[in-house]
């Protein structure tokens, strides 16, 4: 029984550390969140690797823009002006156009 509890606690710690690091949380972030730290956690969580430095910089800019849009939208949600909340996912470093192309939508 103690072994099972130890395994569950370990799993819980590993799972929680995958979405939170250095006080940065992929699920709960605000305007005050350090986007560079959020970016590091995002890349680790979603196993993102970019071959060239200019591609990494481009993806960071897209990610930062998407984070800003998510924060602004969620502020509207918190005011009751939207019916859904937005969050980060594996495609948060894509533009809307890239995501539509990925899905095969024109």
Q: Identify each DSSP E strand in 1-102 by its residue range.
A: 20-21, 24-25
Domain around 75? 2-103
| 90 token code pair | 């594996």
Q: DSSP letter for 32, please.
A: T
pLDDT digits (tens, 9 = 90+) for 75-101: 999 999 999 999 999 999 999 999 999
pLDDT digits (tens, 9 = 90+) for 32-53: 999 999 999 999 999 999 999 9
Domain count across the chain: 1
Which CATH number characterizes residue 56's domain?
A: 1.10.287.2250
**Beta-carbon neighbour count of residue 24 at 10 Å?**
19
| 72 token code pair | 């602004």
pLDDT at 13: 34
């Amino acid at each position: 029984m103690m072994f099972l509890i130890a395994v569950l606690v370990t799993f819980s710690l590993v799972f929680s550390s995958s979405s939170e690091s250095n006080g940065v949380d992929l699920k709960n972030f605000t305007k005050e969140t350090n986007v560079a730290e959020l970016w590091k956690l995002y890349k680790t969580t979603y196993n993102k690797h970019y071959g060239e430095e200019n591609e990494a910089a481009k993806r960071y800019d897209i990610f930062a823009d998407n984070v800003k849009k998510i924060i602004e939208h969620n502020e509207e949600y918190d005011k009751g002006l939207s019916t859904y909340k937005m969050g980060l996912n594996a495609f948060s470093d894509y533009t809307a156009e890239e995501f539509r192309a990925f899905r095969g939508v024109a």
